[in-house]
Structure 1
Amino acid sequence: MDKKALMDKAEQLVEKIDDLPTIPVVATQVLQLLDQEDVRIEEVADLMLTDQVMTARVLKMLNSPVYKPSNQITSLRRALVYLGAHHIREVALTTSLISAFADDSRVFGIKSFWEHSFGVGMVSKIIASKIGYQDLERAYISGIIHDLGVVFLSNFMPGEFQAVLESMKTRPVKLVDAEIERLGTSHSEIGYCMARKWNFPEAYCEVIANHHHPDEATTDPVLCSVVNLSDLFCTVRGLNYSNSEWVSFNLAEEPAWQILKKESLGLADLDEARFCYELDDAIPDVKELVNSIFNSKE
């Protein structure tokens, strides 16, 4: 099935849903405020403080293993100063997505979904750093949002999505391929349609659409490749919400690895086994981060 047919089907499915989760109003206002050149941190803090859930999640994230502050930060204003204006946008977007999809989906537990998503985000940031990719926060956020279409399928098409997962238990097939067989589209195209409705930047939309096929990316194939490898790594390391996906992962043979090697000559001499061992170190931090965010009802 060609890409246009997959995308047309995804658009039809997304347009049918009237109660599609939206980005909270305060988050949208924060993002708009941050676009102003003369914005003051105090203004951003005052706006974010009107949303207690966002405030609580920002503080939890900042005190997590991702940011590793030397001392616990309990003040939102201090948290925003610590982050700096460049990173506030990413944190606001992340906490908003968590709020939009905070409840368990119908097919799998939302906590396991966020373990995978944050895992891909953190590993993406590590890989991006190793290859010299300039925008580490973009890599991190791209990893977190890459599978938004999966939550759509689990929440709004639970019967069909459960059937997809069941069909994977007796044969070696990837989730994206099983979805296309049964639904005529996949979570990649559905997530892309959601991201466009939410006015996500083009680079993020492309990652969502092409994180399984980075060789089809045109805007930022390096970013798509980083997320692709992170996704594969986290899946084979047990950070995988569906528990039924078959994944074969040989780093040297992955198209994404070939793309990265072209962009970063230093990777040619990298010990691939050691590289994977270093990524393994991120897994405990992922679990601690997700627990810190979801173990409280604030």
Structure 2
Amino acid sequence: MIDENQFLQKLSDAIDHNRITLPTLPEVALKVRDAVEREQSSANQIADIIASDAALSARLLQVANSPLYRGRVTIDNLQMAVARLGVRLVRSLVISLIMQQIFQATSDLLDAKFRQIWEESVEIAAFSRVLAANTDHLDKEQAMLAGLIHNIGALPILAFAESHDELLEDAEELDRIIDALSPRIGQRILEMWDFPESLIRVPANFLNLDYTSEGEMDYVDIVLVARLESQMNNDGPIDATSLSQIPAFVKVGLEPEVNIIEIEGVADDIQNIEVMFIS
């Protein structure tokens, strides 16, 4: 068994000495984020920024015309797409669509693991969006982004694991290392990206079932419940008594025996989100 503290120290040293780099946001994502934060930025100005990236432009148009967001008229230009989706959603989408590009392996050996983590993140993002949809103080698109980035700390771990044969040969040990170290590394990445504290708390606490938020529920609560709902959907029932003891479930106000995938319309919404990000 690998000493996780020793592995973390090796990983931290590799990051500090540029032997491995944490994922960075492309310039277009930084510009969009800054433009949205200036509030007075128009849809046309934001569309002009996105237009500098052809792949991102195509994906944004695809999202604007997806079943989840489409209107009566087909959108065929970025200005209309930004106007339809709204600048706050566009900011989240730009960052989340880039996340899909980040989840890439440099070798075939780890490609399946990268894809597994991405697909799990997309499903949890879909559940998070549904859970936040009926709240007054949380934004459902921000909740979706929280789900997408909750396990971002796994990325440098997987990249670093490529040079550690003992991890590549032991899937269970690799998973243990990811669970042990991903929260700290994910927090560090989002701090580097200047994310708001409400989102930085997500990767730091997404495995902490004892997490207790102050005041009303937050995005960590949403992601924690989304992960458990995802497990129920994929692995079968989870003991309702155990769920009722988890603070996040109490905050979200969801009955432990309720599987939200069975609520009318929810399955379609979740499928549309998954198709949007995995297709």
2 CA distance for matches of 1:253 and 1:131? 24
Alignment gaps of 5+ in structure 1: 169-174, 239-245, 293-298
RMSD over aligned Cα atoms: 3.4
Give yes or no for the alignment of 1:166 onto 2:153: no
Q: Which residue of 2 aligns with 1:199?
A: 194
Q: Which residue of 2 aligns with 1:208?
A: 203
Deviates more, 1:107-116 or 1:250-259: 250-259
1 CA distance for matches of 2:35 and 2:60? 17
Q: CA deviation at 1:211?
A: 0.7
Q: Which residue of 2 aligns with 1:172?
A: none
Deviates more, 1:129-138 or 1:118-127: 129-138
1 CA distance for matches of 2:15 and 2:166? 15
CA contact 2:15–2:21 (8 Å) conserved in 1: no
1 CA distance for matches of 2:126 and 2:193? 23
Residue number among 268, 271, 277 corresponding to 1:284 in the alignment? 271
Q: Which residue of 1 aligns with 2:223?
A: 227
2 CA distance for matches of 1:59 and 1:209? 33
Q: CA deviation at 1:204?
A: 1.1
Residue number among 187, 210, 224 corresponding to 2:182 in the alignment? 187
Q: Which residue of 1 aligns with 2:140?
A: 136
Percentage identity across paired residues of the two chains: 23
CA contact 2:143–2:219 (8 Å) conserved in 1: yes
Q: Which residue of 2 aligns with 1:243?
A: none
Q: Which residue of 2 aligns with 1:150?
A: 154
Q: CA deviation at 1:137?
A: 1.8
CA contact 2:29–2:94 (8 Å) conserved in 1: yes
Q: What amino acid does structure 2 have at the position aligned with 1:40?
A: S
Q: CA deviation at 1:124?
A: 0.6
Q: 1:59 to 1:161 in 2, by over 3 A?
A: farther
Cα deviations across residues 47-102 of structure 1 (Å, max 9, x unaligned)? 11011121122222333344344443221111000011222211121122223334
Q: CA deviation at 1:113?
A: 3.0
2 CA distance for matches of 1:194 and 1:34? 21
Q: CA deviation at 1:144?
A: 0.7
- Which protein has greater RCO, CA pairs closer than 8 Å, 6+ apart? 1
Deviates more, 1:135-144 or 1:222-231: 222-231
Q: Which residue of 1 aligns with 2:16?
A: 15
CA contact 1:217–1:224 (8 Å) conserved in 2: no
* TM-score, length of structure 1 as denominator length: 0.74
Cα deviations across residues 135-157 of structure 1 (Å, max 9, x unaligned)? 21221110011011122222222
Alignment gaps of 5+ in structure 2: none
Q: What amino acid does structure 2 have at the position aligned with 1:142?
A: A
Q: What amino acid does structure 1 have at the position aligned with 2:238?
A: F
1 CA distance for matches of 2:230 and 2:123? 6
Q: What amino acid does structure 2 have at the position aligned with 1:285?
A: N
SS of 2:200's equivalent in the other structure is helix
Q: CA deviation at 1:257?
A: 4.8
SS of 2:38's equivalent in the other structure is coil
Q: What amino acid does structure 1 have at the position aligned with 2:257?
A: E
Q: What amino acid does structure 1 have at the position aligned with 2:242?
A: E
2 CA distance for matches of 1:284 and 1:52? 26
Q: 1:186 to 1:230 in 2, by over 3 A?
A: same
1 CA distance for matches of 2:158 and 2:134? 34
SS of 2:201's equivalent in the other structure is helix
Q: Which residue of 2 aligns with 1:127?
A: 131
Q: Which residue of 2 aligns with 1:94?
A: 96
Q: CA deviation at 1:262?
A: 4.3
- Listed as ranges, the matches of 1:232-243 within 5 Å are 232-235=228-231, 237-238=233-234
